[in-house]
Amino acid sequence: MVMKIGGKMFALLDANTMETINLKHPTDTIPLLLERYSCISPGYHMSKKHWITVNYKHADMRDPEIIKLIDISYDLIVDGLPKKLKIPLTTSYVSFTTHDAEYQEALVLRQTILRDPLNLQLTEADLHGEEKELHIGGIYQNRLIAYCILSPRDGIQAKVRQVAVDKRYQGMGIGRALMHHAESIASNMEIESIMLHARKHVAQWYESQQYQIMGEEFFEVGIPHIRMFKRL
């Protein structure tokens, strides 16, 4: 049984015996593992310089130690992936408030992505009431690269707005993952549906995520928008 991430194998499980697993490991510590644990041997049918085989059925190491070896193998493969594959895998999604440092980063991102192209500035009026909303961000290497606001409306519906992804990370699936995270939070709050005002030129992107068009085109911040809806 082959386990892959980004199309690259990080573990190979013997599906016949269910006793051994091949894992990648840093070359400089493989000799130490071989000396310390009898359940570890050079990678079977693999590069013995880079891979080890762990017999976990007859292991003389604890389960947490085996899990750590799997994590190490996973991380080694992820580190070697092209940036376009690596960044989505290592981006984490968090919630924060207007009192957190991430919110200040979000304001800069919103201005750069959503307002600058329209020659507009975020104002105090734009930010009014945001302390009562949920703020969600994608974090990569300790920097906020994606953002949206989730605003519960009436207990069963929420609105997503101010969706923005740093231009350097667009086209990598970051925005899609951000929306999925927001939808998961909404579902956990027993929200039944999400609505949003999509800029017309990105409406098709939302449609690819099962959002449906509601009503006629309208103007907001001087450009065409479309109301869209998704049942969770």
CA torsion sign for 58, 61, 62, 67 is negative
Residue 221 phi/psi, 5-degree rounding, is 45, 35
| pLDDT over 90 at 56, yes or no | no
Beta bridge partners of 11: 3, 23
Quote the pLDDT of residue 61: 87
Enumerate the CATH 3.40.630.30 domain ranges in the chain, comma separated: 91-231
**pLDDT on residue 57:** 80
For the segment(s) 2-81, the CATH number from 3.90.1150.30, 1.10.3720.10, 3.40.50.20, 1.10.620.20 is: 3.90.1150.30
Ramachandran category for residue 62: left, alpha or beta (phi over 0 → left; psi -120 to 50 → alpha): beta
How confident is residue 58, by pLDDT bands cut at 50, 70 and 90? confident
pLDDT given for residue 59 in this prediction = 81
- State the span(s) of the chain assigned CATH 3.90.1150.30: 2-81
Mean pLDDT of 136-153: 96
User: pLDDT tens, 82-116?
Assistant: 988 999 999 999 999 999 999 999 999 999 999 99
Q: Percentage of the chain with pLDDT > 70?
A: 100
Tally of CB atoms within 10 A around 226: 21
Q: What is the DSSP string of 131-186?
A: GGSEEEEEEETTEEEEEEEEEE-SSSEEEEEEEEE-GGGTTTTHHHHHHHHHHHHH
CATH code assigned to 91-231:
3.40.630.30
Asked whether the predicted pLDDT for residue 224 surpasses 90, the reply is yes
